[in-house]
Structure 1
Amino acid sequence: MHKGDDTVSNRKQFVVIGLGRFGGSICKELVKIGHEVLVMDKDEQQIQEFSNIATHAVVANSTDESTLRSLGVRNFDFVVVAIGDNIQESILTTLLLKEMGLKNIWVKAKNDYHHKVLEKIGADHIIHPEKDMGRRIAQQMSDEKVIDFIELSDEYSIVELFATPKLETKSLIDLDIRARYGVTILAVKNKENIDISPEPTYVIERGDLLIVIGHNKDIKRFEDQAM
């Protein structure tokens, strides 16, 4: 079975419960990064598919406490509960994990009701993959300047914006973006490289991609007035 690269620093151990599209993609990415991943699912066919991808792949019922204990899930750094349509199973699994004392439990929520229950029983992080992706796509469709969008909270975001001709040949110090608009340019990407925390003397060129953080209203004002 795949064991990953032993030279990877900060290697962590993850349990992924539920191998649907979401759980499967998380498993593949974690293994690709170099972490150890134990995957669990009741579907034998799903487990067979991941037996050569994950560090360990087990056919198991996650609502059975003795099974969770026998697999040693308490020794893992993170558990991702990615159970798809069965809300009851997701809730029971999360509750068992909390009762066993696990500290980093990330759970996929199907809807707002599911989210509220997970919140009450102490899930450490609740994920809405469809809703989160929907917001990003809506932002990109509604604003042609937005290349990508990450919502940090209801009020703050990180956006990627292509520099318009209005900004070309001007330096960051000339534009004085933070003082004028209250947003910060975290980085500038061009064809050659990415400049993290660019110097105030950086001159914006055609095709530069600006990575901007700030309050949503300030970002919108920056787009409307400066771009």
Structure 2
Amino acid sequence: MADYLHNLRKRRRGRLTHQYKATADQRVAVIGLGRFGSSLANELMRRGWDVLGIDTDTRLVQKYSDTLTHTAVADSTDPEVLRQLGVNEFTSAVVGIGSSIEASILISSNLLDAGVPNIWAKAVSRQHGQILERLGVHHVVLPEHEMGERVAHLVTGRMLDFIEFDDDYALVKTVAPEIATGRPLGQSQVRSRYGITVVGIKRPGEAFTHATADTVVQKGDIIIVTGKTQAVEAFTELP
């Protein structure tokens, strides 16, 4: 621990090998290096962030010690440990623990007390998520529940991808229904008739491009559609 703290105080160890270098506001502590935490940490590293990975499992910490900027074997339920690791100086923190709701709540509370500006926490149930929200956690993630809803939309309809936001707004990739093909989008009146907006289009063998009122959608084109969730769902069910 002493050696780690010495290295941590240097802040930079030159491990970032990607094209972007982390700035002061691109430091994040990821607490819990299970499947969720490690996947998130590695993606943040790929995007040029400075990642401190923390877990109580020595095996997991050793596994990711060569891929993350910093790692530590530590019990984050102890606020003094977080202080020694300098987590209070980070702009963001993610609590990726799902095996212990009690630990998740304690760690989230410690991060809030430390004044970390942006805290994300994984919840394993809606009740767990509600507790985290009441604590004041800035962003609560329900990965299994959200993925289940997303897959359900893909299974039951013509959607190729589906993302829903908190305010009942969705972004969908789908094969263009016949009603939207053969004439410019401005003339098809899909916005006024169906309450959706086509924002992108992809033809076979071509890249996605922005859609305008003059864009003519052809049969077999893939389109990106936005709007209220119910409106988007109804639109993608059209023949």
Same fold (TM over 0.5): yes
Shift of 1:222: 2.3
In 1, Cα distance between equivalents of 2:169 and 2:113: 34
Measured in 2, the distance between the counterparts of 1:171 and 1:41 equals 55
Query: Does structure 1 residue 222 correspond to structure 2 residue 224?
Result: no
Runs of 5+ consecutive residues of structure 1 not aligned to the other structure: none
TM-score by length of 1: 0.91
- The partner residue of 2:173 within 138, 142, 160 is 160
Instruction: Tell me if the contact between 2:198 and 2:224 (Cα under 8 Å) persists in the aligned partners.
Output: yes
Quote the residue 1:173 is aligned against: 186
Quick check: 1:4–1:36 contact (8 Å CA) kept in 2? Answer: no
Q: Which residue of 2 is the match for residue 58 of structure 1?
A: 72
- Pick closer, same or farther for the CA change 1:202–1:28 going to 2, 3 Å: same
In the alignment, is the contact (CA less than 8 A) between 1:4 and 1:35 conserved in 2? no
8 Å Cα contact 2:26/2:91 also seen in 1: yes
My pick for the range that moved more, 81-90 or 146-155, is: 146-155
Q: CA RMSD in A?
A: 1.9
Provide structure 2 residue ranges, at least 5 long, that are not aligned to the other structure: 1-12
- Native 8 Å contact 2:22 2:50 kept in 1: no
How high is the TM-score relative to the length of structure 2?
Answer: 0.87
- Counting aligned pairs with the same residue, the percent is 36
Alignment check: 8 A CA contact 1:106 1:125 kept: yes
Cα distance in 2 for partners of 1:156, 1:44 equals 42
User: Is residue 19 from structure 1 mapped to residue 28 from structure 2 by the alignment?
Assistant: no
Query: Aligned-pair distance for 1:214?
Result: 0.8
> Does the CA-based 8 Å contact 1:18-1:39 persist in structure 2?
yes
Give the match for residue 113 of structure 1.
127
User: For structure 1, which segment, 206-215 or 68-77, has the greater mean C-alpha deviation from structure 2 after superposition?
Assistant: 206-215
Shift of 1:205: 2.4
Kindly tell me the number of residue pairs found equivalent between the two proteins.
224
Q: Which amino acid aligns with 2:32?
A: G
Write the distance in 1 (CA, Å) between the matches of 2:125 and 2:177. 39
Quick check: 1:68 aligned with 2:90?
A: no
* Structure 2 counterpart of 1:28: 42
1:29-53 alpha-carbon deviations (Å, 9 max, x no partner) = 1111111100000001000110111
Worse-matched range after superposition: 205-214 or 81-90: 205-214
